[in-house]
Protein backbone atom coordinates (compact mmCIF):
# COMPACT_ATOMS: atom_id res chain seq x y z
CA UNK A 1 0.00 0.00 0.00
CA UNK A 2 1.07 3.59 -0.23
CA UNK A 3 3.11 5.02 2.67
CA UNK A 4 0.31 7.54 3.34
CA UNK A 5 -2.25 4.76 3.76
CA UNK A 6 0.06 2.79 6.06
CA UNK A 7 0.72 5.93 8.09
CA UNK A 8 -3.02 6.21 8.74
CA UNK A 9 -3.30 2.52 9.66
CA UNK A 10 -0.14 2.05 11.72
CA UNK A 11 -1.17 2.83 15.27
CA UNK A 12 1.01 1.28 17.98
CA UNK A 13 -1.78 -1.22 18.67
CA UNK A 14 -1.93 -2.29 15.01
CA UNK A 15 1.85 -2.67 14.77
CA UNK A 16 1.98 -4.70 17.98
CA UNK A 17 -0.81 -6.97 16.81
CA UNK A 18 0.82 -7.55 13.41
CA UNK A 19 4.13 -8.44 15.03
CA UNK A 20 2.35 -10.96 17.27
CA UNK A 21 0.75 -12.67 14.27
CA UNK A 22 3.63 -12.84 11.82
CA UNK A 23 7.26 -12.32 11.04
CA UNK A 24 6.92 -8.87 9.49
CA UNK A 25 8.85 -5.65 9.05
CA UNK A 26 6.18 -3.05 9.86
CA UNK A 27 8.60 -0.25 8.95
CA UNK A 28 8.77 -1.31 5.30
CA UNK A 29 5.94 -0.34 2.94
CA UNK A 30 5.95 -1.84 -0.55
CA UNK A 31 4.60 0.09 -3.54
CA UNK A 32 6.62 -1.87 -6.09
CA UNK A 33 7.68 -5.49 -5.81
CA UNK A 34 10.80 -4.63 -7.82
CA UNK A 35 12.02 -2.67 -4.81
CA UNK A 36 12.18 -5.83 -2.66
CA UNK A 37 15.21 -8.06 -3.17
CA UNK A 38 13.79 -11.27 -1.69
CA UNK A 39 10.10 -12.24 -1.72
CA UNK A 40 10.69 -15.97 -1.51
CA UNK A 41 9.40 -16.35 2.08
CA UNK A 42 6.24 -14.26 1.68
CA UNK A 43 3.10 -16.17 2.62
CA UNK A 44 0.62 -13.34 3.17
CA UNK A 45 0.21 -9.90 1.62
CA UNK A 46 -1.66 -7.14 3.47
CA UNK A 47 -2.65 -4.65 0.79
CA UNK A 48 -4.35 -1.28 0.58
CA UNK A 49 -4.84 1.70 -1.68
CA UNK A 50 -1.69 2.26 -3.73
CA UNK A 51 -0.63 -1.39 -3.73
CA UNK A 52 1.24 -2.81 -6.75
CA UNK A 53 -0.55 -5.15 -9.12
CA UNK A 54 -0.09 -8.79 -8.11
CA UNK A 55 0.54 -10.33 -11.52
CA UNK A 56 2.27 -13.46 -12.82
CA UNK A 57 5.67 -11.77 -12.66
CA UNK A 58 5.19 -10.92 -8.99
CA UNK A 59 3.79 -14.34 -8.16
CA UNK A 60 6.84 -16.11 -9.58
CA UNK A 61 8.88 -14.34 -6.91
CA UNK A 62 6.41 -15.40 -4.17
CA UNK A 63 6.09 -19.18 -4.53
CA UNK A 64 4.72 -19.55 -1.00
CA UNK A 65 2.05 -16.82 -1.18
CA UNK A 66 -1.26 -18.21 0.00
CA UNK A 67 -3.39 -15.23 1.07
CA UNK A 68 -4.00 -11.60 0.08
CA UNK A 69 -5.77 -9.51 2.72
CA UNK A 70 -7.01 -6.25 1.23
CA UNK A 71 -7.86 -3.43 3.60
CA UNK A 72 -9.87 -1.54 0.98
CA UNK A 73 -13.01 -2.48 -0.89
CA UNK A 74 -12.52 -3.61 -4.46
CA UNK A 75 -9.56 -5.86 -5.29
CA UNK A 76 -10.02 -5.58 -9.07
CA UNK A 77 -7.13 -3.12 -9.45
CA UNK A 78 -4.66 -5.35 -7.60
CA UNK A 79 -5.57 -9.04 -7.85
CA UNK A 80 -5.12 -10.55 -11.31
CA UNK A 81 -6.37 -13.80 -12.84
CA UNK A 82 -2.99 -15.34 -12.06
CA UNK A 83 -3.83 -15.13 -8.35
CA UNK A 84 -7.09 -16.99 -8.83
CA UNK A 85 -5.39 -19.57 -11.05
CA UNK A 86 -2.96 -20.31 -8.22
CA UNK A 87 -5.76 -20.76 -5.72
CA UNK A 88 -4.62 -17.89 -3.51
CA UNK A 89 -7.19 -16.89 -0.89
CA UNK A 90 -8.29 -13.26 -1.10
CA UNK A 91 -10.14 -11.25 1.52
CA UNK A 92 -11.51 -7.71 1.24
CA UNK A 93 -12.82 -5.01 3.53
CA UNK A 94 -15.65 -4.23 1.13
CA UNK A 95 -18.38 -4.89 3.70
CA UNK A 96 -16.67 -2.69 6.27
CA UNK A 97 -16.13 0.13 3.78
CA UNK A 98 -19.82 0.01 2.90
CA UNK A 99 -20.80 1.04 6.42
CA UNK A 100 -19.71 4.72 6.37
CA UNK A 101 -21.00 5.19 2.79
CA UNK A 102 -24.42 3.93 3.82
CA UNK A 103 -24.39 6.14 6.92
CA UNK A 104 -23.49 9.17 4.79
CA UNK A 105 -26.30 8.29 2.38
CA UNK A 106 -28.89 7.94 5.12
CA UNK A 107 -27.92 11.35 6.51
CA UNK A 108 -28.06 12.83 2.99
CA UNK A 109 -31.54 11.42 2.32
CA UNK A 110 -32.98 12.74 5.57
CA UNK A 111 -31.29 16.15 5.50
CA UNK A 112 -31.87 16.81 1.80
CA UNK A 113 -35.63 16.24 1.90
CA UNK A 114 -35.80 18.30 5.09
CA UNK A 115 -34.12 21.05 2.99
CA UNK A 116 -31.57 21.57 5.75
CA UNK A 117 -28.86 22.90 3.43
CA UNK A 118 -31.04 25.42 1.60
CA UNK A 119 -32.82 26.74 4.68
CA UNK A 120 -29.58 26.96 6.66
CA UNK A 121 -28.00 29.14 3.98
CA UNK A 122 -31.12 31.30 3.71
CA UNK A 123 -31.23 31.69 7.50
CA UNK A 124 -27.62 32.88 7.55
CA UNK A 125 -28.48 35.49 4.95
CA UNK A 126 -31.79 36.79 6.38
CA UNK A 127 -31.08 36.29 10.11
CA UNK A 128 -34.80 36.59 10.74
CA UNK A 129 -37.97 34.54 11.06
CA UNK A 130 -39.33 33.37 7.73
CA UNK A 131 -42.04 30.98 6.49
CA UNK A 132 -39.35 28.41 5.83
CA UNK A 133 -41.61 25.74 4.37
CA UNK A 134 -43.23 28.12 1.88
CA UNK A 135 -40.61 27.61 -0.87
CA UNK A 136 -40.71 23.85 -0.23
CA UNK A 137 -44.36 22.74 0.04
CA UNK A 138 -43.34 19.07 0.28
CA UNK A 139 -40.58 19.63 2.86
CA UNK A 140 -39.85 16.56 4.99
CA UNK A 141 -39.49 12.80 4.65
CA UNK A 142 -42.93 11.44 5.55
CA UNK A 143 -44.21 9.08 2.81
CA UNK A 144 -41.39 10.02 0.47
CA UNK A 145 -40.32 7.62 -2.27
CA UNK A 146 -36.61 6.78 -2.12
CA UNK A 147 -35.14 5.16 -5.23
CA UNK A 148 -32.04 2.98 -4.78
CA UNK A 149 -30.04 2.24 -7.94
CA UNK A 150 -28.04 -0.93 -7.33
CA UNK A 151 -28.45 -3.60 -4.67
CA UNK A 152 -24.75 -3.48 -3.89
CA UNK A 153 -23.50 -3.97 -0.35
CA UNK A 154 -23.93 -0.25 0.16
CA UNK A 155 -27.34 -0.17 -1.51
CA UNK A 156 -28.56 -3.04 0.66
CA UNK A 157 -27.25 -1.42 3.82
CA UNK A 158 -29.01 1.85 2.93
CA UNK A 159 -32.24 -0.12 2.47
CA UNK A 160 -31.74 -1.65 5.91
CA UNK A 161 -31.03 1.72 7.53
CA UNK A 162 -34.19 3.17 6.00
CA UNK A 163 -36.47 0.56 7.61
CA UNK A 164 -37.42 2.65 10.69
CA UNK A 165 -38.52 5.62 8.57
CA UNK A 166 -41.89 6.32 6.94
CA UNK A 167 -40.62 6.15 3.38
CA UNK A 168 -41.25 3.82 0.46
CA UNK A 169 -38.11 2.30 -1.00
CA UNK A 170 -37.99 1.29 -4.66
CA UNK A 171 -35.06 -0.54 -6.20
CA UNK A 172 -33.67 -0.93 -9.69
CA UNK A 173 -31.09 -3.66 -10.26
CA UNK A 174 -31.06 -6.05 -13.24
CA UNK A 175 -29.56 -8.84 -11.11
CA UNK A 176 -32.21 -8.82 -8.37
CA UNK A 177 -35.19 -11.16 -8.66
CA UNK A 178 -38.69 -10.38 -7.48
CA UNK A 179 -38.28 -12.89 -4.66
CA UNK A 180 -35.10 -11.16 -3.49
CA UNK A 181 -36.75 -7.74 -3.68
CA UNK A 182 -39.59 -9.06 -1.55
CA UNK A 183 -37.03 -10.32 0.96
CA UNK A 184 -35.38 -6.89 1.03
CA UNK A 185 -38.78 -5.26 1.54
CA UNK A 186 -38.57 -3.02 -1.52
CA UNK A 187 -40.55 -2.55 -4.71
CA UNK A 188 -38.58 -3.62 -7.78
CA UNK A 189 -38.92 -1.24 -10.74
CA UNK A 190 -37.23 -0.53 -14.03
CA UNK A 191 -34.59 2.20 -13.99
CA UNK A 192 -36.61 4.68 -16.07
CA UNK A 193 -39.59 4.32 -13.75
CA UNK A 194 -37.40 4.79 -10.68
CA UNK A 195 -36.33 8.22 -11.91
CA UNK A 196 -39.90 9.33 -12.58
CA UNK A 197 -41.49 8.20 -9.30
CA UNK A 198 -38.75 8.88 -6.74
CA UNK A 199 -38.48 11.95 -4.53
CA UNK A 200 -34.87 10.97 -3.83
CA UNK A 201 -32.62 8.94 -6.13
CA UNK A 202 -29.47 7.45 -4.58
CA UNK A 203 -26.84 5.87 -6.83
CA UNK A 204 -25.06 2.70 -5.68
CA UNK A 205 -24.17 0.93 -8.93
CA UNK A 206 -20.63 -0.25 -9.74
CA UNK A 207 -18.39 1.56 -12.21
CA UNK A 208 -18.45 -0.81 -15.19
CA UNK A 209 -18.34 -0.21 -18.95
CA UNK A 210 -22.09 -0.82 -19.17
CA UNK A 211 -22.93 1.58 -16.32
CA UNK A 212 -20.97 4.61 -17.52
CA UNK A 213 -23.34 7.48 -18.15
CA UNK A 214 -26.36 5.47 -16.97
CA UNK A 215 -27.70 8.57 -15.21
CA UNK A 216 -28.37 10.27 -18.50
CA UNK A 217 -29.76 13.65 -19.45
CA UNK A 218 -33.10 12.04 -20.31
CA UNK A 219 -33.36 10.28 -16.95
CA UNK A 220 -32.40 13.38 -14.98
CA UNK A 221 -34.98 15.40 -16.92
CA UNK A 222 -37.65 12.86 -15.98
CA UNK A 223 -37.17 13.46 -12.24
CA UNK A 224 -39.85 15.30 -10.31
CA UNK A 225 -39.38 19.01 -9.65
CA UNK A 226 -37.70 19.37 -6.27
CA UNK A 227 -36.36 15.83 -6.28
CA UNK A 228 -32.95 14.99 -4.79
CA UNK A 229 -30.11 13.18 -6.55
CA UNK A 230 -27.39 11.60 -4.39
CA UNK A 231 -24.15 10.16 -5.77
CA UNK A 232 -21.71 8.27 -3.56
CA UNK A 233 -20.78 5.78 -6.31
CA UNK A 234 -18.63 7.23 -9.12
CA UNK A 235 -18.85 10.38 -11.20
CA UNK A 236 -18.44 8.47 -14.46
CA UNK A 237 -21.90 6.93 -14.03
CA UNK A 238 -23.53 10.34 -14.48
CA UNK A 239 -23.84 12.79 -17.36
CA UNK A 240 -22.06 15.52 -15.41
CA UNK A 241 -23.00 18.37 -17.73
CA UNK A 242 -26.68 17.44 -17.66
CA UNK A 243 -26.64 17.14 -13.87
CA UNK A 244 -24.94 20.52 -13.52
CA UNK A 245 -27.55 22.15 -15.74
CA UNK A 246 -30.41 20.65 -13.73
CA UNK A 247 -28.85 21.79 -10.46
CA UNK A 248 -28.06 25.28 -11.75
CA UNK A 249 -31.70 25.64 -12.81
CA UNK A 250 -32.72 24.93 -9.23
CA UNK A 251 -35.18 22.26 -10.33
CA UNK A 252 -33.30 19.47 -8.53
CA UNK A 253 -31.33 19.24 -5.31
CA UNK A 254 -28.04 17.35 -5.13
CA UNK A 255 -25.77 15.66 -2.62
CA UNK A 256 -22.65 14.88 -4.62
CA UNK A 257 -19.63 13.13 -3.09
CA UNK A 258 -18.01 11.92 -6.32
CA UNK A 259 -17.54 13.71 -9.64
CA UNK A 260 -15.86 13.31 -12.99
CA UNK A 261 -13.17 14.62 -12.85
CA UNK A 262 -12.54 13.72 -9.22
CA UNK A 263 -11.85 17.38 -8.38
CA UNK A 264 -14.12 19.74 -10.32
CA UNK A 265 -12.66 22.84 -12.00
CA UNK A 266 -12.47 25.83 -9.68
CA UNK A 267 -15.14 27.64 -11.69
CA UNK A 268 -17.72 24.85 -11.41
CA UNK A 269 -21.04 26.29 -10.22
CA UNK A 270 -21.60 23.25 -7.99
CA UNK A 271 -19.29 24.71 -5.35
CA UNK A 272 -21.67 27.60 -4.66
CA UNK A 273 -25.20 26.45 -5.45
CA UNK A 274 -27.55 26.70 -2.46
CA UNK A 275 -29.35 23.49 -3.49
CA UNK A 276 -26.16 21.39 -3.64
CA UNK A 277 -24.06 19.74 -0.96
CA UNK A 278 -20.71 18.96 -2.60
CA UNK A 279 -18.22 16.90 -0.61
CA UNK A 280 -14.70 15.73 -1.61
CA UNK A 281 -15.16 11.93 -1.81
CA UNK A 282 -15.40 11.45 1.96
CA UNK A 283 -18.39 9.08 2.14
CA UNK A 284 -16.08 6.05 2.32
CA UNK A 285 -13.75 5.23 5.18
CA UNK A 286 -11.73 8.19 6.43
CA UNK A 287 -10.13 9.13 9.74
CA UNK A 288 -11.16 6.84 12.58
CA UNK A 289 -13.21 4.74 10.17
CA UNK A 290 -9.95 3.37 8.74
CA UNK A 291 -9.49 1.47 11.99
CA UNK A 292 -12.43 -0.71 11.04
CA UNK A 293 -10.67 -1.74 7.82
CA UNK A 294 -7.31 -2.63 9.35
CA UNK A 295 -9.00 -4.42 12.27
CA UNK A 296 -10.90 -6.58 9.78
CA UNK A 297 -7.71 -7.39 7.86
CA UNK A 298 -5.93 -8.37 11.07
CA UNK A 299 -8.86 -10.55 12.10
CA UNK A 300 -8.50 -12.32 8.76
CA UNK A 301 -4.72 -12.56 9.26
CA UNK A 302 -5.26 -14.36 12.56
CA UNK A 303 -7.60 -16.81 10.82
CA UNK A 304 -4.96 -17.53 8.17
CA UNK A 305 -2.32 -18.04 10.85
CA UNK A 306 -4.62 -20.44 12.71
CA UNK A 307 -5.48 -22.38 9.56
CA UNK A 308 -9.10 -21.22 9.67
CA UNK A 309 -11.19 -20.15 6.65
CA UNK A 310 -11.51 -16.46 5.83
CA UNK A 311 -14.61 -14.70 7.08
CA UNK A 312 -14.90 -12.44 4.01
CA UNK A 313 -13.50 -14.30 1.01
CA UNK A 314 -13.72 -12.58 -2.35
CA UNK A 315 -15.67 -14.63 -4.89
CA UNK A 316 -13.98 -14.14 -8.26
CA UNK A 317 -17.08 -15.14 -10.22
CA UNK A 318 -18.88 -12.07 -8.84
CA UNK A 319 -16.19 -9.52 -9.68
CA UNK A 320 -17.46 -8.82 -13.19
CA UNK A 321 -20.65 -7.28 -11.76
CA UNK A 322 -19.09 -5.44 -8.82
CA UNK A 323 -17.01 -2.33 -8.31
Cα–Cα distance, 168 to 36 (Å, whole number): 54
Active site residue 234: yes
Residues 6+ apart with CB under 8 A from 247: 253, 254, 269, 270, 273, 275, 276
253 is catalytic: no
Cα(270)–Cα(256) distance, rounded to whole angstroms?
9
CB-based contact 30:36 (threshold 8 Å): yes
Q: Do 9 and 71 form a contact (C-beta atoms < 8 A)? A: yes
Do residues 193 and 222 touch, judged by C-beta distance below 8 A? no
Given 234, 253, 296, 303, the catalytic residue: 234
Q: What angle do the packed helices 116-126 and 94-113 form, to 10 degrees?
A: 50
Q: Tell me whether residue 187 is one of the annotated catalytic residues.
A: no
Q: Which of 281, 289, 292, 302 is catalytic?
A: 281
Q: What stretches of 71-199 adopt beta strand conformation (E)?
A: 89-92, 144-149, 167-172, 187-188
Find out whether 162 and 179 touch, Cβ atoms under 8 Å: no
Residues 6+ positions from 288 with CB-CB distance below 8 Å: none
> Which of 219, 261, 224 is closest to 242 using CA atoms?
219
Residues 196 and 145: beta-carbon distance below 8 Å:
no
**Contact partners, residue 222, CB within 8 Å, separation at least 6:** 192, 195, 196
Task: State the catalytic residue, choosing from 190, 210, 262, 308.
Answer: 262
Please identify every residue annotated as catalytic: 234, 262, 281
Amino acid sequence: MSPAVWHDFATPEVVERLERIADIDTGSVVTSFDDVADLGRVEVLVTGWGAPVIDEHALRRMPHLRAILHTGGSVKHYVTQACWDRGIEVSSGVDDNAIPVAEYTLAAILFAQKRVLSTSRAYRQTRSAQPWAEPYPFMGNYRRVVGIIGASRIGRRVIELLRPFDVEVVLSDPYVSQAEADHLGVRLVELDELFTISDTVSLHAPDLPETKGMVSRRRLASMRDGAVFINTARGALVDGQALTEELVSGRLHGVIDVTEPEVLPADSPLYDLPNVLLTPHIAGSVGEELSRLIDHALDEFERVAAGEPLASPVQPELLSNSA
